[in-house]
Amino acid sequence: MRADRTHRTLLTVLALVLLAAGITILLAGTNLFGPNHGGQRLLDNPAARFVSAHAGWFWPVAAVAAAILALLGLRWLAAVVTIEPGQRRINIGADGDTERTVLDSGALATAVNAEVENWPGVDDVDTRLWGSPDAPRLALKVTADPDIDIAALHEQLETLALPRIRYAVGRPDLPVTLDLTYSRHRSARVS
């Protein structure tokens, strides 16, 4: 979650810098920075004269800086869209135990899916584990039939499935993200 905060902060700073630049350009056109400043031509300014006087080295440096910024932007984009890898193992046992049991996360996902998928009205179950082996987190996405009472399904998951999962991994405080959705199509029922 710290990464999300960092991304939001960087985007906010970038937005504020661009907003300040836009306001400065608008104010320059209203002669706020001097009577002759608003009527100047776009390329008739000290910065444009500097660039034309030093064009031999300025444009290659600008190209390298632009390439570096593009690579940093691609790295940032990859970090934002990359899904955190799933956890492969969970350590079961009290903290500080010298002996511990290691549970394969695939086995846990298979057991959870096998139990919950057989409930009436449940169409699909997707289980994902992430975090560290000593501090795992569980995401449970359940897709239900549109005719089912979603509140009753939520209550059933909270009272039956989640306590069993937490007991099975030996973590009564296992953080679980529960996502309940309806399937897009109605099931064909024969009366």
User: What pLDDT shows up at residue 39?
Assistant: 66
pLDDT of residue 68 exceeding 90, the answer is yes
Give 93's pLDDT tier (boundaries 50, 70, 90).
low
Q: Which pLDDT score, from 0 to 100, does residue 66 have?
A: 95
- Tell me the C-alpha distance between 82 and 77, whole Å: 8
Residue 189 pLDDT level (bands cut at 50, 70, 90): very low
The edge-to-edge listing of strands for the beta sheet with 135-144 is: 122-132, 135-144, 176-182
Q: What is the pLDDT of residue 89?
A: 64
Provide the pLDDT for residue 143. Answer: 87
In tens, the pLDDT along 106-162 reads 777 788 888 888 888 888 888 887 777 777 778 888 888 888 888 888 888 888 888
The DSSP annotation for 88-155 comes to -EEEES-TT-SS-EEEEHHHHHHHHHHHHHTSTTEEEEEEEEEEETTEEEEEEEEEE-TTS-HHHHHH
pLDDT at 188: 45
Q: What type of residue is 147?
A: D
SS3 (DSSP) at 30:
coil
Residue of higher predicted confidence among 144 and 103: 144
Terminal-residue alpha carbon distance, the chain: 48
Among the four given CATH numbers 3.40.50.1370, 3.40.50.970, 3.30.460.90, 3.30.300.30, the one describing domain 89-182:
3.30.300.30
pTM exceeding 0.75:
no
Judged by average pLDDT, the poorest of 30-34, 60-64, 130-134, 166-170 is 130-134
Partners of residue 189 on adjacent β-strands: none
